[in-house]
Amino acid sequence: MKKILIIILSIALIAGCTNNPAEIPDNDVQEAIDEAQETNDETQDTDDETKDTKEPVIAPDFELASMDGSVIKLSETRDKNVILNFWYTGCVFCVTEMPDLQKLQETYPDDLLLLAINVGESKEVIEDFMDENNLSFIVLQDEDMLVAYDYGIRSFPTTIAINKKGEVVGGYIGMLTYEQMEQLYGLFE
């Protein structure tokens, strides 16, 4: 019985928190994240001309309600660098990285706006989770999952860095360590 349980848990950890990729279209944001992750994973030489000729990907605009009832529109946050984190409470990896996201927001309060976009859950579930874990960053509710769909989110968590110009400068699919969050923040400079 223990062996079966270990095998099931191993498969769950390997698979991560994913949804059905056949339902999510490919798009520019997802391609930019994939390219950024490949660049971070590989050590490759690139010349400055190649970097400069690449067309920037503008993050799709959205309006979502926060837990306090205010509405946040992405295009109105251009005074700060933004990190979007798509997550839900049933995702073990999402939950594990939450304290580090809180720490990142507290480390860069003047220059960084962390928007944790909860996908598919009710306000009550999110509020209970935030209270239980003593988290205070901004959580936006994407209960109908339309923003996650627009961004081509296939796995949770997915984290996207957007500079003050509204351009996607990087991202990660999967759980981040605090060091990886710092690297993602470093892309803003």
**Distance (Å, rounded) from C-alpha 93 to C-alpha 156?**
8
pLDDT less than 50: residues of the chain? 1-15, 19-25, 43-51
**Distance (Å, rounded) from C-alpha 114 to C-alpha 117?**
9
Give 125-128's long-range contacts (Cβ < 8 A, gap of 24+).
125/89, 126/67, 126/89, 127/67
Q: What pLDDT, on a 0 to 100 scale, did the predictor assign at position 182?
A: 97
Q: Are 54 and 39 in contact (CB under 8 A)?
A: no
Q: What pLDDT, on a 0 to 100 scale, did the predictor assign at position 5?
A: 35
Question: Number of helices and strands (H, E) in the chain?
Answer: 7, 10
**Distance (Å, rounded) from C-alpha 69 to C-alpha 67?**
5
Q: What pLDDT, on a 0 to 100 scale, did the predictor assign at position 54?
A: 75
Among candidate residues 93, 36, 73, 95, the one with its CA nearest the CA of residue 147: 73
List the beta bridge partners of residue 85.
116, 159
Q: What pLDDT, on a 0 to 100 scale, did the predictor assign at position 55?
A: 87
- Model confidence pLDDT, tens digit, residues 36-85: 556 555 544 444 444 455 788 999 999 999 999 999 999 999 999 999 99
CATH architecture type of domain 26-42+50-186: 3-Layer(aba) Sandwich (3.40)
Q: Letter for the amino acid at 38?
A: E
